[in-house]
Amino acid sequence: MSEKSSPILLFDSGVGGLTVYDALREVLPGAPVIYAADLAGLPYGEKTEAQVAARVAGLLGRMSERFRPRLVCIACNTASTIALGNVREVLEVPIVGTVPAIKPAAAMTQTGAIGLIGTQATIRQRYVDELEHQFAADKTLLRIAAPEFVGAAEAKLRGEPVDMAVIERVADALRAMPGGDRIDTLVLACTHFPLLADELRLVFGPQVQLVDGAAGIARRIAHLLDGQPMEKTGPNRFIVTGPIDAASGLDAALSSREFSAAAAF
């Protein structure tokens, strides 16, 4: 592999990181990309912190040896908030993580009430507490876990219908919290969740702004790689852990994003 064709490695527990890829393609359209979906480990949000940290660091160590990426992006909020430090100790290339977009949400809200939807593992992290303290101390930040959104997003990308009752249950639970009726900004603290943006807008209404970190992550990657020569020698690669059957139904989503057919890692 030449230096020009050295890829950016995007890693996620599933297909949610494709929302980061979509944003990255806007700023670095010619960059070679390998997308790694740890479908064998999905969902991360229901694992312990120790399990996630060990799994992510181990997988990224092996993937970096095989693919020699120029940069690794952990396109997963759960994995980033838990394992980013471990991965930076293991790898010698630049690492970009994904964190809940609390800072931009705090700047956008007019009512001072912000909803944050994430996985169970993400919303309980001290890192999220620190972001709230730093950027939204004078706001009302209401957190809720929506693990079922991950499966809904994965299914939607495969062309399956979304069960709107799942979206409505989460919306009703958020609104029932003290101050929940004032929410005007919603942080999507999982890269899967922007795939459900249309459904979320339908349920929450046009007065609620949706905020995610994909564009900011893409800009950060572009900044770190500024000036580096890049050359794509073929389609981007999409690899999965576990049985390749787990990627069934993704053909249309992958081909529209210039990926070759899914392959096993």
Rg (CA), the chain: 18
Determine the Cα–Cα distance for residues 100 and 129; give it in Å rounded to an integer.
11
Who wins on pLDDT, 44 or 132? 132
Side chain identity, residue 69: P
pLDDT tens digit string along 4-40? 889 999 999 999 999 999 999 999 999 999 999 999 9
pLDDT tens digit string along 53-83? 999 999 999 999 999 999 999 999 999 989 9
Structural domains present in the chain: 8-98+215-264 (3.40.50.1860), 102-212 (3.40.50.1860)
Phi, psi of 28 (to 5 degrees): -135, 70
In 108-248, DSSP assigns E strands to 113-118, 140-145, 185-188, 209-211, 237-240
62 by Cβ neighbours in 10 Å (0-12 / 13-18 / 19+) ranks as: exposed
Mean pLDDT of 201-212: 97
Residue numbers annotated as active site: 76, 190
Determine the Cα–Cα distance for residues 234 and 247; give it in Å rounded to an integer.
21
Secondary structure (DSSP) of 78-111: HHHHHHHHHHHHH--S-EE-----HHHHHHH-SS
